Structure 1
Amino acid sequence: MRFSNSAKLAFAAAAVLGALASAPVAAQSVAVTSIVEHPALDSIRDGVKQALSEAGYTESKGLNWQFQTAQGNTAIAAQIARKFVGDKPDVIVAIATPSAQAVVAATKSIPVVYSAVTDPVAAQLVSAMAPSGTNVTGVSDSLSLEKQVELIKKALPEAKRVGMVYNPGEANSVVVVKQMRELLPKSGMTLVEATAARTVDVGAAARSLVGKVDVIYTNTDNNVVSAYEALVKVGNDAKIPLIASDTDSVKRGAIAALGVNYKDLGLQTGKMVIKILKGEQPGNIASETSDKLELYVNPAAAEKQGVTLSEDFVKSATQVVE
């Protein structure tokens, strides 16, 4: 069968339109940076990539994906931010507060999607959780601290003195400490603080709390989470139970944590990136949080740290770590 030239052109046009309909639109360049590599932040990175892949944005189909970690160093975070801005990707994903601050300081034009930032307003990434009108949007891992205090009371009803190890240079941690100072007395508890400006300081900061606290609570401070094993050693040796807000820390030796699923947070972040790749302006997209909290418990860790978790408490867990 022979086709006229007009028919051939029609078939060709249909083929092109079909290909365009099945392929992701817009350029496909995503640069991802994280302040440090640890299980929670790695899960976000992997969730972003999975969301992109499920939407058809893959390296085999032309996605230019790059990832760099600052290894816990804010100066390196700034260097990475400047490099990414020079590369001019379609979207920069900045995981954790210090990396997000570095990227937002480096560009006012390239779309930035932050993730795992506890308080993006206090970190001066956006002026409010509503659409920013700027090049920045993202997903916060903010938790209700009232629920965290409630978790401490449920797990350890007799606890009165709550220790916290944190990096005073990390904006999200400073916000959490300030709020915990106000909240704990309302539940008959007090806060005892120990600062760790570097990852290598975490063990010494934890040891300074021995004899002064009944429990150590950790937020999603990146220094602390990166060096969590140092904290666990102190908890096990001194019989001080550890409660976290990062569920991955339970697998590493905390007795319990009520927190977000960071893989889900990554998927949520990835969906935001996809909106921008498809042409939506970041300034028109409201910042988001996750309301999917999960309770993880580790009875074996509790035993090592000198406590026994109640049967009802263990049964209420989303996941029991063996």
Structure 2
Amino acid sequence: MLRRFVTGAVVAVALSVAACGAQSPTETSAPADNGKRDVKIGAVTIVSHPSLDLVYEGIVEGLAEAGYTEGDNLTIDLQNPQGDQATLVNIANTYASSDNDLFVAIATPPAQALAQVEQKRPIVFASVTDPVAAGLVESMEAPGGNVTGTSDQLPTDQQLAVIKDILPDVMTVGIVYSSAEVNAQVQAERAIEAGSELGIEVKTATVTNSSEVQQAAESLDVDAYFVLVDNTVVSAIESMIQVAEANGRLLVTSDADSVERGAAAALATDYKAQGIQTAGIIVDILEGGDPATTPVQLQEGLELAVNPEAAERMGVEIPGTVVEQAAKTY
């Protein structure tokens, strides 16, 4: 039986910002008319796709709601390496020598790249599945450095249970994931464990870039496919959809945007809401909070999204009991 999954917000982040010449967020420009000082933020994502775009949109909206508005007292520069690691490293190095007050990293690779070159000014991440495994924080409760943010960590057992609710006789599930993203590797390991408990064999295939996704999916002989929170694979979701339809296999994902694009279902995060939540952390730090003791937060709720017509193209009928529980139907 599907159920809404709710977690509490977790954690804290601490940051010591003013050492070795780095400018403290509390020591920059004079306040604007609304009482908020002028702020410069350097932001970087990993690749373009709807979920990450919504995170950024939510961050900008949340900052505006808190009195930090682009073109007024906020300058925010968003860079996108489109998945290229060398370009990402160059962006991080450029930011490290900039005069930005704070940095925003959307997804795990940008957060890691920034953390390697900037240890003084605050770095706030979003959509990092496992910040501890990624080496970004000491613990979810006490980050212990200049890095904190929000995690899109999802309950893999409940996601696989969605597949079983749609296909009760499912025996094998295939996962294509990026070997270059530590968050994807962690999720794949959890999926294998969760699948074992549900009587599902999880088979995996790895890729290094989005152009390999279709071939990797075709290599898996499975009853259904499951896409993790994996930026490389999500950016090529059309390839996964094509393989699923061609082989008559169910495709379930971890983001609602992919369901709108043609996947059958997802138990997913509201990414714009996560961006707004991330903006709250940014504001707290800009106004004196210490990242080393500021909580890393999990999103508080998940929603089920379904696309019955997409499922039909995969030769699958989503049961009415599942459709009834969906927050979004495409």
1:102: which partner in 2?
A: 113
What amino acid is aligned across from residue 287 of structure 1 in structure 2? V
Unaligned residue ranges in structure 2 (runs of 5+) = 1-29
Return structure 1 stretches of 4+ with deviation > 6 angstroms: none
Superposed, which structure 2 residues align to 1:1-322 within 5 Å? 23-209=34-220, 212-321=221-330
Please say if residues 137 and 287 of structure 1, whose CA atoms lie closer than 8 Å, have aligned partners that are also in contact.
yes
Deviation at 1:24, TM superposition (A): 4.3
Query: 1:4 aligns to what?
Result: none
Amino acid at match of 2:128: V
Q: Shift in Å at residue 92 of structure 1?
A: 0.4
Bigger mean CA offset, 178-187 vs 286-295: 178-187
Aligned to 2:14: none
Report the aligned-residue RMSD: 1.4
| Contact 2:163 2:252 survives alignment (8 Å) | yes
Alpha-carbon offset, residue 239 of structure 1:
0.9
Q: Which has the larger radius of gyration?
A: 1
Gap runs ≥5 in structure 1 = 1-18
Deviations 1:124-159 (A, max 9, x none): 000100132311111000011121121111121111
Looking at structure 2, the residues matched to 21 and 33 of structure 1 have their Cα atoms a distance apart, in angstroms, of 26
Deviation at 1:206, TM superposition (A): 1.0
Cα distance in 1 for residues equivalent to 2:272 and 2:167? 28
Counterpart of 1:107 in structure 2: which amino acid?
E
Between Structure 1 and Structure 2, the one with more helix by share is: 1
Distance 1:26 1:62, change over 3 A: closer
Aligned length: 301
Task: Give % identity.
Answer: 39
Task: Name the SS for the 2:97 alignment partner.
Answer: helix
- Asked if the contact 2:36/2:68 (under 8 Å) is kept, the reply is no
Please tell me whether the aligned partners of residues 37 and 73 of structure 2 are also in contact (alpha carbons under 8 angstroms). no
By relative contact order (CA 8 Å, sep 6+), the higher-ranking structure is: 2
TM-score by length of 1: 0.91
